[in-house]
Amino acid sequence: MKKRKPQIVVISDVHLGTLGCHAKELLNYLNSIQPEKLILNGDIIDIWQFRKSYFPKSHLAVIKKILEMNAQGTEVIYITGNHDEMLRKFSDTILGDFSIVDKLVLNLDGKKAWFFHGDVFDISIQNAKWLAKLGGWGYDMLIMLNRLLNWFLVKTGRKKYSLSKRIKNSVKSAIKFISDFEKTAAELAIQNGYKYVICGHIHHPKMVRKVYGNGTCLYLNSGDWIENLTALEYENKKWELMKYQQNDYLKPVPRQSLTAFTIFGLSLIHI
């Protein structure tokens, strides 16, 4: 299959080294592209939950593939997140076309784009890191329980079900957190003259126009490779939110006012 060559690809929240990571699917996606820039927007390697007893070959293959893409001409920019915060001691390190940063600003066809992971907005991480880490372990276990449930549902001829999405969508505080996160990111972007703000962290893929005062910006979130299996691509002056497709995958990315189509086994949403 001929590789697509988008200008920019953004992925985040892969959580390599955890039980919930869909490394094989991510590897399939990476094998289908050769972008000019690959932006890893935080929580790619889950250092918080890293253990020597669990790091499958497929997880290592993702790292190898990223380095291979870098060697073949793709600029790789690693933006640190909370689960890989140990890498922040290496911030502003540049090795050829590979760099580690805490945030990034790019000029995209005359418009300023602001990239950062997003954990700076999370009070639980800033003030009670141990609680955030405990929540990470709980989320990992919930994902594994969900996989067991879905195995049973598929065996009995029923559709898969997402426990974590059900919990998130039913807990008012979780819904409010996502809404506040998006609002804060967009307002800060508009105040600072950015036309795009691109985040990760909350595992909630999104692409929506935000208005604050007399300004507007496009808020984008690349989602994750635990549940949503999504990425962002920029090409020809427009952003696309892409979702890896499997025959038995649960739901498409919420369309809202966007349109969607499918190519190379990927569902694309564009604005």
Statement: residue 9 has pLDDT above 80: yes
| Residue-level pLDDT at 163 | 58
Mean pLDDT of 221-247: 90
In this predicted model, which residue has the larger pLDDT, 144 or 212?
Answer: 212
Mean pLDDT of 159-163: 67
| Residue-level pLDDT at 171 | 47
In this predicted model, which residue has the larger pLDDT, 158 or 228?
Answer: 228
**Band of pLDDT at residue 249, cut at 50, 70 and 90:** very low
pLDDT tens by residue, 104-117: 999 999 999 999 99
Whole-model pTM? 0.78
Tell me the domains of the chain and their CATH numbers.
Answer: 8-270 (3.60.21.10)
Statement: residue 199 has pLDDT above 70: yes
Statement: residue 62 has pLDDT above 50: yes
Report the DSSP pairing between strands 259-263 and 266-270: antiparallel
| Residue-level pLDDT at 181 | 87
In this predicted model, which residue has the larger pLDDT, 229 or 246?
Answer: 229
- How far, in Å, CA of 134 to CA of 263, rounded? 39
| Percent of the chain residues topping a pLDDT of 90 | 52
| Residue-level pLDDT at 159 | 76
| Residue-level pLDDT at 97 | 96
Statement: residue 12 has pLDDT above 50: yes
| Residue-level pLDDT at 121 | 73
* Average pLDDT of the chain to the nearest whole number: 81
Give the strands of the sheet with 196-199, arranged side by side.
103-108, 111-116, 196-199, 215-221, 206-212
